[in-house]
């Protein structure tokens, strides 16, 4: 079975631009979460979606938005990019059980210049 | 604000030695997960603990959830060079949001041959 897939793997953007990152969950998983991981730190929670509805939001500005599609894939959009948005963006899928186990994709490395 | 503190931040030991990594919080979690992350990749789930006082073993790795479900430890026996990586703990289901997963900042482990 395929794991969580993310695209693109790497991306270079300039300040002020907009970016869209994509994620496909494990088959059968209806929940997708997005995380930002800056070098040397643990992942920071951005959003969680379940059954196409937002179920959780972290402390990120409104420049960050996301959505989940009927096939449970998801997109993360970031507008008006800042240098500080440079990070590894991780997507995780889960079955939304009480244990909250998540399975991560390989991430998208975003560099803002 | 929920926080998970991991210690130590960095650990470098000789192959064959034992080590313990700690994950502490002032908050109660419904579950706690441990992940291992290689450079440029997404975190890989090692274990989930749910019950206070629970102990789980994964070959040479022993995970324990504190009785009050606020802390956890990871003990590695007879470390091998393949254990090198970033170890992350993550708490879920805290009082503030059932859908928010909080990660610690990680322990970077290096096993010398």
pLDDT tens per residue, range A36-95: 999 888 999 999 999 999 988 889 999 999 999 999 999 999 999 999 999 999 999 988
Mean pLDDT within A18-27: 97
Average pLDDT, chain B: 90
Identify which of B61, B62, B72 has the alpha carbon closest to the alpha carbon of residue B31. Answer: B72
A–B CB contacts, 8 A cutoff, strictly below: 73
- Closest by Cβ to B93, choosing from A4, A92, A100: A100
Helix, strand, coil % in chain A, rounded to nearest 5? 5, 50, 45
The whole-number average pLDDT for the span B4-22 is: 96
Give the architecture (CATH level 2) of A5-106: Sandwich (2.60)
Task: pLDDT band for A98, please (50, 70, 90 cuts).
Answer: low
In the CATH scheme, what architecture does the domain B5-112 have? Sandwich (2.60)
Q: What is the mean pLDDT of residues A13-39?
A: 96
Given a cut of 80, whether residue B2 has pLDDT beyond it is no
B33, B41, B100: residue with CB nearest A56: B100
A111 in contact with chain B, both atoms CB, cutoff 8 A: no
Asked if pLDDT for residue B95 goes beyond 60, the answer is: no
Domain ranges of chain B: 5-112
Q: What per-residue confidence (pLDDT) applies to B113?
A: 94
- From residue B58, alpha-carbon distances to A28, B1, B53, B61, B106 in Å are 26, 32, 17, 5, 19
Question: What CA–CA distance (Å, rounded) separates A91 from A112?
Answer: 19
The answer to whether the Cβ–Cβ distance between A45 and B93 falls below 8 Å is no
Domain boundaries, chain A: 5-106
Q: What is the pLDDT of residue B96?
A: 47
Cβ <8 Å between A101 and B33: yes
Q: Give the residue from chain A lying closest to B106, CA to CA.
A: A42
With contact defined as beta carbons under 8 Å apart, do B101 and A49 qualify?
A: no
User: B35-86, pLDDT tens digit by residue?
Assistant: 999 988 999 999 999 899 999 999 999 999 999 999 999 999 999 999 999 9
The C-alpha atoms of residue B16 and residue B36 are separated, in whole angstroms, by 19
B98 has a pLDDT exceeding 90 = no
What confidence tier does A101 reach under pLDDT thresholds 50, 70, 90?
A: confident
Q: What is the 3-state secondary structure (H, E, C) of B9-75?
A: CEEEEECCCCEEEEEECCCCCCEEEEEEECCCCCCEEEEEECCCCCEEEECCEEEEECCCCCEEEEE
């Amino acid at each position: 079975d395929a794991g969580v897939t993310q695209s693109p793997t790497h991306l270079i953007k300039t300040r002020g631009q907009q970016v869209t990152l994509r994620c496909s969950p494990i088959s059968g998983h209806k929940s997708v979460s997005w995380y930002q991981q800056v070098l040397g730190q643990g992942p920071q929670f951005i959003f969680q979606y379940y059954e196409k509805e937002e179920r959780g939001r972290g402390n990120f500005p409104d420049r960050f938005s996301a959505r989940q599609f009927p096939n449970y894939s998801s997109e993360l959009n970031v507008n008006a990019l800042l240098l500080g948005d440079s990070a590894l963006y991780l997507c995780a899928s889960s079955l939304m059980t009480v244990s909250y186990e998540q399975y991560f994709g390989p991430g998208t490395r975003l560099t803002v210049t | 604000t929920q926080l998970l503190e991991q210690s130590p931040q960095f650990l470098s030991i000789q192959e064959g030695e034992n080590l313990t990594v700690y994950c502490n919080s002032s908050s109660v979690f419904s579950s706690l997960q441990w992940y291992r992350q290689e450079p440029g990749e997404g975190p890989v789930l090692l274990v989930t603990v749910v019950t206070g006082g629970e102990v789980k073993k994964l070959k040479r790795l022993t995970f324990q959830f504190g009785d009050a479900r606020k802390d956890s430890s990871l003990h590695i026996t007879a470390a091998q060079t393949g254990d090198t990586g970033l170890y992350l703990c993550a708490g879920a289901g805290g009082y503030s949001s059932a859908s928010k997963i909080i990660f610690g900042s990680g322990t970077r482990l290096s096993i010398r041959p």
